[in-house]
């Protein structure tokens, strides 16, 4: 399936010179969304949990975890998760941010991180750091709908021995 024909592009958003790639049309089209989930199911067959990144990773991660019958772990911005959390600050292509994960998260030994897009890798790498520092996983993998291969995210994951599944490459 050609996902590029479904993904929309918004020029100069959220800042000048950035062309935002929006997966909302995928979420609005059940057959295209099912296709994406099926692709991730194949890649996640040995995952112990799905670690979904706020916010576009949530719908993908929830359905994927449910279909696989494994835990869904949420990674959110500060102050959004109740209870005691682990935190990690990182730099994105736009800013500096922090992510949190519950200390009681059921991550397991082979978590798969899910997000909509991989660019510089800052967000995913922050999640990898959270997982490695606090949960001692044996193997971490990552799934994204869009990989911006002209940015360093894919190489950063490769350097950290993180398997990447991307459904579309720009």
Residue 1 lies in a domain: no
Residue 2 lies in a domain: no
Q: Using one digit for the tens of pLDDT, what is the confidence trace for 21-47?
A: 999 999 999 999 999 999 999 999 999
CA dist., res. 129 & res. 99, Å (int): 11
Residue 58 lies in a domain: yes
Backbone conformation region of residue 145, classed left if phi is above 0, alpha if psi is from -120 to 50, else beta = alpha
Q: What is the CATH number of the domain that holds 57?
A: 3.40.50.2020
Angle ∠(68,70,74) on CA atoms, nearest 5: 115
Residue 111 lies in a domain: yes
The pLDDT of residue 94: 67
Enclosing domain of residue 121: 30-169
The pLDDT of residue 93: 63
Query: In the chain, which ranges are E strands?
Result: 8-11, 19-22, 49-53, 72-75, 85-91, 96-102, 111-118, 141-147, 163-169
Q: Using one digit for the tens of pLDDT, what is the confidence trace for 91-106?
A: 766 678 999 999 999 9
Task: Report the mean per-residue pLDDT for the chain.
Answer: 96
The pLDDT of residue 91: 77
Residue 24 lies in a domain: no
Residue 68 lies in a domain: yes
Query: How crowded is the C-beta side of 139, counted as CA atoms within 13 Å?
Result: 9
CA dist., res. 101 & res. 131, Å (int): 9
Residue 10 lies in a domain: no
Band (144; pLDDT cuts 50, 70, 90): very high
CA dist., res. 149 & res. 74, Å (int): 26
- Residue 88: name the closest of 125, 119, 117 by CA: 125
Tokens at 63, concatenated: 């359905």
Number of domains in the chain: 1
Residue 21 lies in a domain: no
Band (61; pLDDT cuts 50, 70, 90): very high
């Amino acid at each position: 399936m050609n996902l590029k024909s479904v993904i929309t592009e918004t020029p100069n958003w959220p800042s000048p010179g950035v062309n935002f790639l929006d997966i909302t049309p995928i979420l609005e089209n059940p057959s295209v969304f099912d296709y994406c989930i099926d692709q991730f199911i194949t890649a996640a067959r040995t995952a112990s949990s799905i670690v979904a990144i706020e916010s576009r990773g949530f719908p993908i991660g929830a359905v994927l975890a449910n279909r696989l019958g494994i835990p869904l772990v949420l990674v959110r911005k500060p102050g959004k998760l109740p209870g005691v959390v682990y935190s990690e600050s990182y730099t994105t292509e736009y800013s500096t941010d922090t992510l949190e994960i519950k200390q009681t998260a059921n991550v397991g030994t082979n978590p798969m991180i899910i997000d909509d897009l991989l660019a510089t890798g800052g967000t995913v790498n922050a999640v990898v750091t959270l997982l490695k520092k606090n949960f001692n996983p044996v193997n971490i993998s990552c799934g994204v709908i869009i990989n911006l291969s002209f940015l360093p995210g894919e190489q950063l994951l490769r350097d950290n021995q993180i398997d990447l599944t991307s459904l579309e490459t720009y």
